[in-house]
Amino acid sequence: MTAAAMSIGEFRGYLAGQIGRAPESIPLDAALRTDADLDSIEMFLLVIAVEDLGVQFPEELLAHVVTLEDAYHHYVTQLGHR
Amino acid sequence: MPTDHDYLYQLATHPDITWRWRYRGQSIGYDTFLQQLWGGTLVHFVVERRDGGQRVGYVQAFDASERHGWCHFAVMLDPMLERSGWAIECLALFFNYVFTAWNFRKLYAVVLENNYEELHSGAGTWFITEGRLAEHEWFAGRYWDLVFLTVRREDWEPSGPALVAKLTERPAGPVRETA
């Protein structure tokens, strides 16, 4: 991981802001589509927001990102590989 | 292309899609499907994955009125991709194409109330809700509203092209023209 990586709390706050939600409405371990009830537009904006942090979100990975923790894990892993 | 026809027929008649596509669960013959695939169509694309070209959906503009400056649009995506955001990505690319190629003011979509829930966060930013027919269609034991959504050029142009530029900076293009 690089020194520039966000904490998971910062990561959640950033993504929530990008999709127009309160951070508390997206619990870290909640399934984004079902438990947190993100709709298609919010899921799209979430992926774009993660990519704006400089990490790629491959299509085949999207199906495996269930929770915000999954997205954060991908984020820090990708940062560490840059 | 004709090689897409079987795929599109299977998609349009898939049990998870047929009730929200134009057939609303009705059986449809293959020949009739092909005729209707082109009926009223302005432009349509098969949606493909960037990594490998696997077909994952279909997007269409139809019933256009160039005189009045509007047309309708619709999208159907592989049910496995529901709420993945892929429908929005391909629609963003498609809106950009249609607004660039034609001088439309408005792009309309007509969706069932339960399908609207897939998109509701975009109300006021991605689209406006222009109308609603209360309890208009019967499905699964109850009547549902039919919701009329509008994507306006004036709302699209300030941010849409920049978003599309960002999307197309990623590897390869995800759509190609059908037929």
Task: State whether ipTM is beyond 0.90.
Answer: no
What confidence tens digit (pLDDT) does each residue in A26-47 have?
999 998 888 898 998 998 899 8
Q: Do B85 and A47 touch (CB under 8 A)?
A: yes
Name the percent of chain A lying above pLDDT 90: 38
Q: Which tokens go with A38?
A: 């993100």
The average pLDDT across B97-124 equals 93
Domains of chain B, first to last:
2-176 (3.40.630.30)
The average pLDDT across B71-81 equals 89
> Average pLDDT, whole number, for chain A?
85
Give Cβ neighbours of residue B6 (< 8 Å, ≥ 6 apart): none
The Cα of B116 is separated from the nearest Cα of chain A by a number of Å equal to: 10
What confidence tens digit (pLDDT) does each residue in B128-161 have?
999 999 999 998 899 999 999 999 999 999 989 9
Give Cβ neighbours of residue B165 (< 8 Å, ≥ 6 apart): none
Least confident of A32-41, B2-11, B80-89: B80-89
Name the percent of chain B lying above pLDDT 90: 54
Of A20, A40, A58, the CB nearest to B85: A40
What spatial distance separates the first Cα and last Cα of chain A, rounded to whole Å? 9
Q: Do B121 and A44 touch (CB under 8 A)?
A: no
Alpha helices by DSSP H, listed for B27-150, are: 30-38, 86-101, 113-116
pLDDT at B112 over 70: yes
Of A33, A41, A59, the CB nearest to B88: A41
B110, containing H or E segment: strand B106-112
Q: Do A59 and B50 touch (CB under 8 A)?
A: yes
CA angle (B95 as vertex; B91, B101 as ends), nearest 5: 145
Least confident of A9-18, A72-81, B34-43: A72-81
The Cα of A29 is separated from the nearest Cα of chain B by a number of Å equal to: 18
**Which chain B residues touch A60 with a CB distance below 8 Å?**
51
Q: Do B117 and A39 touch (CB under 8 A)?
A: yes
- Identify the CA nearest to A45 among candidates B175, B163, B101, B105: B163
Of A41, A47, A56, the CB nearest to B121: A41
- Dihedral-angle region of residue A13 (phi above 0 means left; psi in -120 to 50 means alpha; beta otherwise): alpha
The Cα of B115 is separated from the nearest Cα of chain A by a number of Å equal to: 10
